[in-house]
Amino acid sequence: MLRTKSLFVLLALVLVLPLKAALQPGFDKQEYLEMLRIIATFSENPASTFPKPEHYTRIHRSPAFVMDNMYDLWYNPAEKAVAIHLRGTTGKAISWLENFYAAMIPAEGSVQLGNGQQFAYKFSSDKRAAVHVGWTVGLGYMVNDMKTRLDSVLNSGVRDLVVVGHSQGGALAFLMTAYLRQAQLDGKIPADTRIKTYSSAGPKPGNLYFAYDYERQTQNGWAFNVINAADWVPETPISIQTLNDFNTTNPFKNAKKLFKKQKFPQNILFRYFFNQLERPTTKARKKYEKFLGKLVGGFVEKQVEGAVPPPFFQSSNYVRTGHTIVLYPDAEYYTQFPESDTNFFVHHMFAPYYHLAQKLNM
């Protein structure tokens, strides 16, 4: 339920106090640490010793939506900034299905969510851009509720938004940022709105062309991808690059025609070696779509009445996105967070990220 009193306080402060450009481009260590403190408040089992947010106060917490996603709105009265925090993976099966539903779909289109809901989305205007279907669906269930809250915030005069999430929430932060920036380009939110993003421990959200467009729009210091180098989650989903993932102008496009012009036996050998390289990746991409698209999508359909899998984009070339800030473990780090064959998330949770972020010399 919306914290009405807190929202009224926000509106009063915005109307009474002059606005200033609170958000500045560039990675801010203290700003990221505050975002981690916000992130930790959404943990199902938060550590009692984890520091609490120092500058932001929560003004809204959403209900859990169909895929068990939730979001918070936080307000910083000193800087007139609102943080949009997107929760990461929970222990529920549907939340994990969202991660494994890893086929790609075009970065602009529409998804039939179920229960009569339709999500028309636009993350990029590049027709070659593609994104993760599961996280698109997860975001889709939240968008209408988020629009209502954000419209109220923006109508109050707030112009500084910080999008933040950890793990699955980091993936959603990529997509939410792209969604907001496209809405801004289309005139649906004020042109002077400043949007800054901290994706923490986020996996790869889409293909190279999505990344190009995302980075083009945020490259002046407005979006960061913070990664612990010991964490396996940012290495997912598994990437499969085929020859179809290259730009239109490339030396592979007409390779088979060129081979035919070669003399025997070079023409036979070149074609053989080329096929040995091309066919396995193409076959792997098709299997990827079959198991992590159609099969997992079928499980989602069974749990969400009326959901219809969208047409998939024929690529699985997932890449890292955004300006990357690397948290690099040292020997002292591994004494506190040792490698483990049983605790697969030892390097992924809030504590190791907070520990390493405090050591950043920037």
Mean pLDDT of 84-89: 97
With H, G, I as helix, E, B as strand and everything else as coil, classify residue 116: coil
Quickly list DSSP for 1-16.
Answer: -B-HHHHHHHHHHHHH
115 pLDDT higher than 90: no
Return the DSSP state at 202: -
353 neighbors 36 (Cβ within 8 angstroms): yes
- Per-residue model confidence (pLDDT) at position 116: 81
pTM of this structure: 0.91
Look up tokens 């707030």; give the residue: 158
Residue 17 has pLDDT above 80, yes or no: no
Confidence of residue 257 (pLDDT cuts 50, 70, 90): low
In this predicted structure, the answer to whether residue 105 has a pLDDT above a threshold of 90 is yes
Span 319-338, mean pLDDT?
97
Q: How far apart are the C-alpha atoms of 115 and 117, rounded to whole Å? A: 6
H/E segment holding residue 227: strand 223-228
Tell me the mean pLDDT in the region 328-350: 97
Highest-confidence range of 93-107, 108-122, 273-287, by mean pLDDT?
93-107
Superfamily of domain 4-358 in CATH is Alpha/Beta hydrolase fold, catalytic domain (3.40.50.1820)
Using the predicted structure, report yes or no on whether residue 272 has a pLDDT greater than 90.
no
pLDDT at position 70 over 70:
yes
The per-residue pLDDT for 12 is 47
CB contact set of 302 (below 8 Å; sequence gap of 6+): none
Grouping H, G, I as helix, E, B as strand and the rest as coil, residue 60 is strand
Model confidence at 46: pLDDT above 80 = no
Q: What is the pLDDT averaged over residues 27-33?
A: 98
- Which range among 30-44, 126-140, 177-191, 326-340 shows the weakest confidence by mean pLDDT? 30-44
pLDDT at 362: 81
Peptide bond before residue 46 is cis, with ω within 30 degrees of 0: no
Q: How large a percentage of the chain has pLDDT more than 90?
A: 77
Q: Could you tell me if 70 and 58 are in contact, meaning their C-beta atoms sit under 8 angstroms apart?
A: no
State mean pLDDT over 168-174: 98
pLDDT at residue number 276: 76
Regarding predicted confidence, which is higher, 11 or 213? Answer: 213
Confidence of residue 1 (pLDDT cuts 50, 70, 90): very low
Can you give the pLDDT at residue 2? Answer: 40
CA dist 353 and 24 (Å) reads 23
Phi/psi at 249 (5° precision): -85, 110
What pLDDT, on a 0 to 100 scale, did the predictor assign at position 315? Answer: 96
Output the average pLDDT for the chain. Answer: 90
